[in-house]
C-alpha cells in the first residue's frame, strides 16, 4: 500500500479556526483520537533477517500478504517499527491498583491482550515531478500480542509518545491535525510503562505547541499508475481548495526516515 500525503503546520492559536474550516469542508465534526505510539528499534546488524515463514503461515489468511510484505522489507533493512494503541483520558493518572480494577489494558502485560496496529513506513520516494510525498507503508491492524511478536524478532523497545489527533474524512482524503506529546522521564526508560502519567504532565514535542495538518490518500496498488494518478489528483484538488488558507505542501522526504542508521 502507498500513502500519498501533504503537510503543513498550524499554530495552537489557530487550531480552533482550522477545525471549524475542516468541519465545514468535510461536513462532519472532528473525531478526537488519543493513541500510544510504542517505538521499537530493529536489530543493529548489516545482515537483517525477515520474519520467520512459519510464523507468517500461522496468521489469518487475509493478513498473510501484509506479513509477507513486512518480512520482505525487514530482510533488506533494519527499521523503527511502531505499535499503536487507542487510549482515552480516563487511563491517564491512574494508580496500578485502579488500572487493574478498571482497565488492565493500561498495564504493560495488558498490551499483548488488546488489539493494536503494527505500522511500518518506508523512506518516501524521491519527489520527481510529483506534487505530493509518496511512501510505501504496511499497517497490520487489530492484532493481539504485538509486543511479544517484536521481541521474538529481536526488536528492542526504545521509547513511547502520545499522539493527539483530530480526524476528518472527505471522499478518499483523510485530514488529520496531530500533535505529539512527550511523557515524563521513566525510571526504567527501556521498559514500557505499567501505567500512564497524568495527562497534564505531558509536554508537546514542539516548543511552540504547533500542530501538524496532514492530508493523505491511501493507494492499494502503488504499481498501478492509474490508482496513483487518481490519488495525486485528489490531493492536488485539496491543495487548490485550501490555497491561501493552509499551505499544504510536499516536504523533504528525509524528515520521515524510519531506517536505523549504522
Instruction: Give per-residue burial for 47-64: e unless 16+ CB within 10 Å, then b.
Output: ebebbeeeebeebeeeee
Cell of 159: 521509547
Instruction: Match 524528515 to its residue by C-alpha cell.
Output: 255
Tell me how far apart the alpha carbons of residues 118 and 143 are, in angstroms, rounded to a whole number.
8
* pLDDT-based confidence at residue 96 (cuts at 50, 70, 90): low
Residue 106: is its pLDDT beyond 80? Answer: no
Q: How many residues does the chain have?
A: 262
- Give the three-state DSSP class for 259: strand
**pTM for the full model?**
0.90
Long-range residue pairs from 23-28, CB within 8 A, at least 24 positions apart, any chain: 23/168, 25/168, 25/170, 25/241, 26/168, 26/169, 26/170, 26/175, 27/170, 28/168, 28/169
CA–CA gap between residue 4 and residue 136 (Å, rounded):
9
Mean pLDDT to the nearest integer, 144-164:
94
Residue 127 is predicted with a pLDDT of: 65
Question: Is 23 in contact with 30 (CB distance < 8 Å)?
Answer: yes
Rounded distance between C-alpha atoms, residue 118 and residue 249, angstroms: 27
Which pairing describes strands 80-87 and 116-121: parallel, antiparallel, or unpaired?
antiparallel
Binning pLDDT at 50, 70 and 90, where does residue 121 land?
very high
Check whether 194 has a pLDDT greater than 90. Answer: no
Share of the chain above pLDDT 70, in %: 92
Confidence band of 262 (pLDDT split at 50, 70, 90): low
Kindly state the average pLDDT of the residues 88-98.
Answer: 77
As a whole number of angstroms, the distance between CA 21 and CA 94 comes to: 36
Domains located in the chain, CATH noted? 2-256 (2.40.320.10)
**Gap between the Cα atoms of 138 and 216, Å rounded:** 15
Indicate the pLDDT class of residue 107, thresholds 50, 70 and 90.
very low
Amino acid at each position: 500500500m502507498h500513502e500519498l500525503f501533504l503537510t503543513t503546520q498550524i499554530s495552537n492559536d489557530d487550531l480552533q479556526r482550522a477545525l471549524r474550516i475542516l468541519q465545514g469542508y468535510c461536513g462532519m465534526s472532528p473525531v478526537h483520537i488519543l493513541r500510544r505510539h510504542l517505538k521499537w528499534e530493529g536489530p543493529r546488524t548489516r545482515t537483517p533477517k525477515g520474519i520467520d515463514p512459519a510464523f507468517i503461515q500461522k496468521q489469518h489468511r487475509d493478513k498473510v500478504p501484509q506479513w509477507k510484505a513486512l518480512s520482505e522489507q525487514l530482510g533488506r533493512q533494519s527499521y523503527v517499527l511502531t505499535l499503536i494503541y487507542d487510549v482515552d483520558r480516563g487511563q491517564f493518572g491512574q494508580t496500578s491498583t485502579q488500572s487493574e480494577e478498571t482497565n488492565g489494558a493500561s498495564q504493560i502485560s495488558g498490551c499483548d491482550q488488546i488489539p493494536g496496529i503494527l505500522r511500518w513506513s518506508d523512506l518516501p520516494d524521491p519527489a520527481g515531478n510529483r506534487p505530493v510525498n509518496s511512501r510505501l507503508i504496511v499497517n497490520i491492524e487489530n492484532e493481539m500480542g504485538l509486543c511479544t511478536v517484536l521481541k521474538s524478532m529481536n526488536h528492542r523497545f526504545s521509547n513511547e509518545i502520545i499522539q493527539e489527533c483530530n480526524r476528518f474524512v472527505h471522499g478518499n482524503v483523510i485530514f488529520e491535525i496531530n500533535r505529539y506529546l512527550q511523557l515524563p522521564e521513566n525510571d526504567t526508560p527501556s521498559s514500557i510503562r505499567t501505567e500512564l502519567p497524568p495527562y497534564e504532565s505531558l509536554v508537546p514535542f514542539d516548543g511552540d505547541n504547533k500542530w501538524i495538518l496532514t492530508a493523505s490518500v491511501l493507494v492499494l496498488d502503488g504499481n498501478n499508475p492509474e490508482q496513483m494518478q487518481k490519488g495525486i489528483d485528489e490531493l492536488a484538488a485539496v491543495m487548490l481548495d485550501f490555497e491561501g488558507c493552509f499551505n499544504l505542501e510536499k516536504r523533504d522526504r528525509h524528515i520521515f526516515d524510519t531506517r536505523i542508521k549504522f
